[in-house]
Chain A
């Protein structure tokens, strides 16, 4: 055990702690910037079992920050290339690679095989999937993410603590590294912080970053911690999971003038937003007061909802469905696009 001697002499670890590391099973989702930083430290510490999920292949633009890969890795699976490096680093760690993406179909089954889930991905939609699958399988998950020089770190679903949905109940996609830009050392630092939380969870530390969001700015070397608590209103059940991920989502309808004959359109923008579209078949029911105005509508009639970006239309559509409206759809076009389409179709009421 001389390999681990320097950490075993720490009072927080000892022989017992080292044994816990040997027995631990950690699943890392994503072998990108965060994954490449945290994986070698987890392997070096003596963690016994590691899973790596990533369906991506190495690209040249990854190499400035994804330090487990070299020129020879380009075109190969990231998970397999990481495994080559890590096997060489510490053969005592058993590594299983999954050269596929995490999906609603494989998430629950995969999570069952591990004790701790590490989110090293770069998309918010996947983060919700990780969160929900972690809740359903009762696993803590260690979150890290980066926007340019700022990183966020937290641990969710730890000892029945708050989850990602308690922090961000519902978020739309925001720029990733590919869009916003990132420096290798910045993402590396955040990955290392995640690795530290993984070790703390395994070792039973009292200071796991649960219920707290750490934001570290690698440019100004400043950090902030924010407290958040469990939102008991948020219930993640198997039914919720199925509806959210595995049911077929209805895509927004694309506008065609003939729809004006079948449907009544509802503009859910606020009344001070422009352009206003005047048409006998368009109702103006702002989302801010939408529920209160539902009594003006007929549950048997067909409605198409629109707004400026589609977000409020989707919310209004959900409200209508919750109130048992039979035939409602959201339109994908914005109000400005609709104005042009309706004018071009010469059906605009003069």
Chain B
């Protein structure tokens, strides 16, 4: 299935862009996260996941569907 990944904050620098569409071979949000953490150096950055603009509880794995927009949202500190 195809999903759009949106990156914010520090994740933009690590992932190299703000947004990308990817063909993924996972069923749920936990599997996606695990795969992303394996393939990218992002484990040191805290972030939350939003699927189609709604934050999810990362303790529960959410089923992903074709066309989903998944945002990775880290907290910011500057002020």
Contacts and interface: CB of A to CB of B under 8 A. Distances in A.
A120 B75 contact: no
B76 A145 contact: yes
B71 interface: yes
Contacts of B48: 167-168
Contacts of A172: 46
A102 interface: no
A151 interface: yes
A171 interface: yes
A209 B9 CA distance: 20
Categorize the interface residue count of chain B. Answer: 20 to 34
Categorize the interface residue count of chain A. Answer: 35 or more
Given A174-B75, A231-B57, 17 more contacts: A33-B78, A33-B79, A34-B79, A121-B79, A122-B78, A124-B75, A146-B76, A146-B79, A148-B78, A150-B8, A167-B75, A173-B77, A174-B9, A174-B45, A213-B55, A220-B18, A224-B71
A57 interface: no
A344 interface: no
A227 interface: yes
Interface of B: 6, 8-10, 18, 44-46, 48, 50, 53-55, 57, 71, 73-79
A180 interface: yes
A187 B78 contact: yes
A316 interface: no
